[in-house]
Structure 1
Amino acid sequence: MCDPTVGLPVALPARQIAYFVPDIRAAADAHRAAFGSGPFLVIDHVPTPIVRHRGRPAVLDHGSAYGQWGEVMVEFVQQHDAGPSAFHDMYPSGSGRFGMHHVALFVDDLTAAIDRFAAGGDECALYAETSATAFAMIDTVRHYGHMIELYEPSRVLLDFYARVRAMADGDA
């Protein structure tokens, strides 16, 4: 079993819990009603110009709703296309299946973290870049029942997390 903390100086706390859903707005509304999370920032088509699914070039058209749930961010993800992806690896297109998909962690060095997981037998299911950050989905389903998302805590990303938290605190 891969131990992602091997060689790391400190434990990696969960920064985000994400669910793959058929409708990000409906899921966010239901979660808010049940758990008091949010409010949610919705991005219908997250610009992701660089995508590699299991090492191969790919396209990923997805939307996300981001909100605060206590101390952790919660994300609802909807894939708009039927193509291969880390989401469809767990929840195949057309299957009607949805659920928890990943837990996100901040790492100091994305490439080194991907390599540490790979050395333990956990494949990078998705590597992608937005205009703000690069991130990776590591296939840890065999260990935890979900994937692990990794990204470096850049200023842009930290500001985004702060914005979502401020919305929850009524400061945005």
Structure 2
Amino acid sequence: MVVGGLPVRQIAWFVPDITAAARAHHAVFGSGPYFVFEHVPLAWSEHRGVRVTHDHSSAYGQWGDVMVEFVTQHGDDPSAFRDMYPHGSARHGLHHMALWVNDLEAAIAQFAARDMPLAQLSETQTGTRYAFVDARASLGHMLELYEPTDQLTGFYAMVRDAAQGWDGRDPIRKLN
């Protein structure tokens, strides 16, 4: 699957319970194992140009050639997640597809020129920056953009490698 000439690296769903969603996806599709990262530590985050607290947790697993993420947000702070799934709503579903780009700032500008404006820009405490561009008008979901740093590609490789020859046991694993 390719969006804008870039292969889709990850498909992510916003859900109320990341562990339950990971178990359900595993039961139906055999995906996994899933690595759960609770309260992902961020250095900072901006939603539509305003600094926000962005407390979220994710479960990452492998499904064939693509990573699957189930994500939830803790609290009601504005975010790219809340743009689609307001706090207190029973709605959940597809939120974004992740793409790797060579230059994050240039990609943000290129997508904005295609009527996909920047919704959120964040940086993890380990220095990985990522952006959500709002592609709802044309694609029905957000796009997440990353530069493929060694840390990021190493994480994707770890998740992919854990799925190789996996026997289906221990589908949920906690990350510290």
**Residue pairs, 1:1-172, within 5 angstroms:** 5=4, 11-130=5-124, 131-170=126-165
Which amino acid is the alignment partner of residue 151 of structure 2? V
Higher strand share: 2
Q: Is the 8 A contact 1:24 1:65 kept in 2?
A: yes
Q: Is the 8 A contact 1:68 1:168 kept in 2?
A: yes
Offset of residue 50 of structure 1 = 1.0
Give the match's secondary structure for 2:53: coil
**1:83 & 1:148 partners in 2: Cα distance?**
20
**2:148 & 2:15 partners in 1: Cα distance?**
26
Q: Could you give the per-residue CA deviations for residues 69-89 of structure 1, whole angstroms, max 9, x where no partner exists?
A: 000000000101111110010
Offset of residue 120 of structure 1 = 2.2
Offset of residue 167 of structure 1 = 1.1
Which amino acid is the alignment partner of residue 148 of structure 1? L
Q: Mind listing any 5+ residue stretches in structure 2 that lack a counterpart?
A: 167-176
Moved over 2 A (4+): none
- Alpha-carbon RMSD across the aligned residues, in angstroms, is 1.2
The corresponding residue for 1:8 is none
Offset of residue 121 of structure 1 = 2.2
Moved more, 96-105 or 115-124: 115-124
Offset of residue 97 of structure 1 = 0.5
Q: Could you give the per-residue CA deviations for residues 99-158 of structure 1, whole angstroms, max 9, x where no partner exists?
A: 000000000000000011112222111100011410000000011111000000000000
Aligned residues: 163
**1:77 & 1:87 partners in 2: Cα distance?**
9
Which amino acid is the alignment partner of residue 20 of structure 1? F
Normalised TM-score (structure 2):
0.90
Q: Mind listing any 5+ residue stretches in structure 1 that lack a counterpart?
A: 6-10
**1:24 & 1:170 partners in 2: Cα distance?**
24
Which amino acid is the alignment partner of residue 86 of structure 1? A
